[in-house]
Amino acid sequence: MSKHDDIELMQYADGELDEREADAFAKYLESNADARTKLESLGQMHELVTGSVEASADALPDHKFAALWHEVNKAIDEAAPKGIFGKVAAWIDRHRGHVITGMVSAGAVAAIALVIRTNQDETASSSRSSIEVLPAAMRTAPVVESLDTPDGSGTVMNFEDEDGHTTVIWVTPADTVEGI
């Protein structure tokens, strides 16, 4: 086989050559007795192998074949999840990566939210005053309810401007000759 080798012969036998190649190889076979002999041998071997496999399959009893299929079906059924919980668990199993990522993200967000909420509460609580500031015009004048200056005298002065009232209590020691 100078022009056509054994691989091409096997491809021809298996019908794998295209039409043009097959025609060329057929012409080659007409002129080459050795190639024809090899082709016949390949055909015989193919028939032998195919016949043996089919005979083995035919020899298997039907009940054994049915039992084999039953085992296959049973294995498939057992692998399938049962009930809603099983289906949910199977879904989570299939998306394990996404679930873990989601859990970590949700945990982080929850932690941040709780920290922020706590800080806001604490800030609001600590900064919240028990009194409110009225506009200066609506405020009443301050009232000094008691004033004790053990070693001197006290002078109380009230002033009012656009910002509100200012009370000044000036304490003059008893031994001071000058006033303010």
Which residues are at the interface with other proteins (CB under 8 A)? 85, 88-89, 92-93, 96, 99, 103, 106-107, 109-110, 113-114, 117, 121-122, 124-134, 136, 139-140, 142-152, 154, 157, 159, 161, 163-173, 176, 178, 180
**Helix, strand, or coil here: 162?**
coil
Whole-number minimum distance, CB 79 to other proteins, in Å? Answer: 16
> Based on CB atoms, which residue is closest to other proteins, 69 or 85?
85
Return the ∠ at Cα 82 (arms to 80 and 87), rounded to 5°. Answer: 80
Q: How far is the CB of 142 from other proteins (least distance, A)?
A: 4
* Residue 94 structure tokens: 């299939």
Tell me whether residue 77 or residue 178 sits nearer to other proteins (CB atom).
178
Residues 6+ apart with CB under 8 A from 103: none
CB of 129 to other proteins, least distance (A): 5
* Contact predicate 158/144, CB 8 Å: no
Judged by beta carbon, residue 33 or residue 143, the one nearer other proteins is 143
By beta-carbon proximity to other proteins, the closer residue of 58 and 145 is 145
Residue 159 contacts residue 136 (beta carbons within 8 Å): no
Give me the least distance between CB of 80 and other proteins, in Å please: 16
What are the residues whose beta carbons fall under 8 Å from the beta carbon of 12, sequence distance 6 or more?
Answer: 21, 22, 25, 26, 39
Dihedral of CA atoms 102, 106, 109, 115 in degrees, nearest 10, equals -150
CB of 77 to other proteins, least distance (A): 21
Residue 63: CB minimum distance to other proteins, A: 41
Would you give the end-to-end CA distance of the chain in angstroms?
135
State which residue, 76 or 177, has the beta carbon closest to other proteins.
177
Tell me whether residue 24 or residue 171 sits nearer to other proteins (CB atom): 171
